[in-house]
């Protein structure tokens, strides 16, 4: 009991001292309660009840200067405002509470949303991060990126910014030149921006595309569909040093089309299409059309299939020209055969019968080194020769003074270019037969 009485007496004494001190620094003027400052209590605290001066309010002052004010709005006594003094500019709303809607405004007199924030920047910090550490720690900011960490590559972004560190962040917004922009910086070796969908609590979502600054500015992870087609800038004004593609048919003959399946367990870790595919092997195509193949910074090859189309177009043109020449040659052969049929049974001056002469198919065919052409000439044939023509009808070789009986002519591939050729056996001025052969490289 004695201990309780002592505690009670001590509390009472302290309360009496507090009331006495409070009374010494307190003044009531026109229903206003004023607590004067002291060397240890600054600023002064004023409880105002003047409805003509922003309604009932609490003012925090330093001397004769009002620093902060909390009170009802003069235009609506139901709304509460927290204001600060801006000197000659008057009072600025820091926090506004709308009684009718329950909206809260930061820097807004009349908030129009549950949380209405107005100003240059809104910064959301993770716990434990101080304002002095914005340049290196995690935070999210709304406003102008230049106001947070300076201009990004000379481009101020007005909008949203999420920053993990000074070297890992993303900006989404509008530039000062009114251009919608997404910009980022990362220490990731690929320097790419990932676009993911189907996010779930167990994964980071499905990677469907990547944007980067390397060999490929856009990488689509899977199939892509363009309802309006895919277009490539091809205006003549964009080009120089324009030349026609030569020897297109020869190039096409060297290209090998393949069927294959992609290796799903590839060293690049890429998700490739499943099932059978048709196309080219980049390393093989590069040997024939190097301009249609590219190698990225990771050492992997890719094919520009569009670049093969112009070669195919010119190859068809060359083939069409060869077919036209071949048609003319066939017509000439038909005419010669018609004349030969009229002369059947007629003997040569030495009595040789042309019906017994014969020309054989070359072997091997096609060939890329040498080939042999066999023939048979009747006894008594006085003059015989083997003629070789290209598909334009130009004579490229002739082998004269062929002997009667069975014989053969050896043709060296080193004398011919890759292509199709016709060879004809002429005996005593008459065609015996004409056949085709193919030279490859």
Give dist(CA 110, CA 73) in Å, integer: 10
Give dist(CA 297, CA 274) in Å, integer: 25
Instruction: Tell me how far CA of residue 190 lies from CA of 41, 145, 167, 211, 298, in angstroms.
Output: 59, 24, 14, 10, 9
Give the residue carrying structure tokens 């002429």: 426
Give the residue carrying structure tokens 């167990």: 202
C-beta of residue 58 within 8 angstroms of C-beta of residue 48? yes
Give dist(CA 6, CA 14) in Å, integer: 13
pTM value?
A: 0.46
Query: What does the H/E/C string look like for 85-138?
Result: ECHHHCEEEEEEECCCCCCEEECCCCCCCCEEECCCEEEEECCCCCHHHCCCCC
C-beta of residue 156 within 8 angstroms of C-beta of residue 175? yes
Per-residue pLDDT of the chain (441 residues; tens, 9 = 90+): 444 444 444 544 444 444 444 444 554 444 444 544 444 444 455 555 544 444 556 766 666 666 776 776 666 557 777 777 776 657 777 788 888 888 888 888 778 888 887 776 666 665 555 444 555 445 556 555 444 433 444 566 667 777 777 677 777 777 777 778 777 777 776 678 888 887 665 667 788 888 887 888 888 887 787 788 788 888 999 899 999 999 998 999 999 999 999 988 888 777 788 899 999 999 999 999 999 999 988 889 999 999 999 999 999 888 877 776 677 777 777 777 766 666 655 444 444 444 578 899 999 888 888 899 999 998 888 899 999 998 888 899 999 989 888 889 999 888 888 888 999 999 988 889 999 998 887
What is the model's pLDDT at position 309?
A: 92
Residue 168 contacts by C-beta under 8 Å, 6 or more apart in sequence? 185, 186, 187
C-beta of residue 80 within 8 angstroms of C-beta of residue 90? no
Give dist(CA 425, CA 388) in Å, integer: 9
Residue 177 contacts by C-beta under 8 Å, 6 or more apart in sequence? none
Residue 319 contacts by C-beta under 8 Å, 6 or more apart in sequence? 249
Give dist(CA 380, CA 348) in Å, integer: 8
State the CB neighbour count (10 A cutoff) for residue 352: 20
What is the model's pLDDT at position 5?
A: 44
- Is the backbone of residue 215 left (phi > 0), alpha (psi -120 to 50) or beta? alpha
- Pairing type for strands 44-48 and 370-377 reads unpaired
At 309, list the tokens: 């189309």
Closest CA to 73 of 83, 81, 85: 81
| Domains identified in the chain and CATH numbers | 2-117 (no CATH), 121-220 (no CATH), 245-312 (no CATH), 343-439 (2.60.40.1930)
State the CB neighbour count (10 A cutoff) for residue 311: 20
What is the model's pLDDT at position 51?
A: 45
State the CB neighbour count (10 A cutoff) for residue 274: 9
């Amino acid at each position: 009991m004695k201990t309780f009485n002592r505690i009670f007496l001590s509390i009472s004494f302290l309360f009496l001292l507090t009331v006495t001190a409070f009374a010494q620094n307190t003044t009531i003027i026109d229903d206003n309660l004023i607590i004067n400052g002291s060397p240890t209590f600054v600023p002064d605290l004023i409880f105002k009840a003047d409805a003509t001066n922003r309604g009932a309010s609490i003012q925090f002052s330093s001397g004769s200067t009002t620093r902060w004010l909390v009170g009802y709005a003069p235009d609506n006594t139901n709304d509460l405002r927290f204001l600060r003094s801006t000197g000659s500019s008057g009072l600025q709303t820091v926090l506004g509470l709308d009684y009718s809607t329950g909206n809260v405004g930061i820097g807004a007199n009349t908030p129009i949303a549950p949380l209405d924030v107005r100003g240059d920047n809104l910064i959301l910090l993770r716990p434990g991060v101080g304002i002095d550490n914005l340049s290196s720690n995690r935070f999210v900011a709304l406003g102008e990126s230049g106001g947070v960490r300076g201009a990004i590559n000379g481009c101020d972004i007005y909008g949203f910014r999420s920053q993990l560190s000074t070297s890992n962040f993303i900006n989404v917004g509008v530039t000062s030149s009114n251009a919608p922009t997404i910009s980022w910086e990362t220490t990731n070796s690929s320097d790419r921006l990932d676009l993911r969908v189907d996010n779930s609590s167990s994964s980071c979502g499905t990677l469907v595309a990547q944007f980067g600054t390397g060999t490929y500015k856009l990488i689509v992870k899977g199939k892509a569909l363009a309802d309006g087609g895919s277009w490539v800038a091809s205006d003549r004004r964009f080009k120089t040093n324009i030349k026609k593609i030569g020897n297109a048919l020869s190039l096409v003959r060297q290209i090998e089309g393949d069927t294959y399946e992609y290796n799903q367990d590839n060293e690049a870790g890429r998700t490739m299409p499943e099932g059978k595919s048709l196309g080219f092997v980049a390393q093989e195509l590069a040997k024939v059309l190097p301009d249609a193949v590219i190698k990225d910074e990771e050492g992997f090859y890719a094919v520009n299939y569009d670049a093969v189309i112009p070669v195919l177009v010119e190859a068809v043109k060359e083939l069409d020209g060869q077919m036209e020449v071949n048609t003319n040659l066939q017509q000439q052969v038909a005419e010669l055969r018609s004349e030969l049929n009229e002369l059947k049974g007629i003997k040569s001056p030495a009595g040789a019968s042309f019906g017994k002469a014969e020309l054989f198919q070359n072997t091997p065919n096609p060939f890329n080194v040498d080939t042999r052409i066999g023939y048979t000439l009747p006894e008594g044939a006085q003059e015989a020769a083997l003629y070789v023509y290209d598909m334009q009808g130009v004579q490229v070789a002739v082998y004269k003074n062929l002997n009667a009986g069975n014989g053969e002519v050896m043709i060296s591939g080193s004398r011919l270019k890759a292509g199709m050729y016709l060879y004809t056996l002429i005996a005593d001025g008459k065609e015996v037969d004409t056949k085709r052969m193919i030279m490859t490289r």
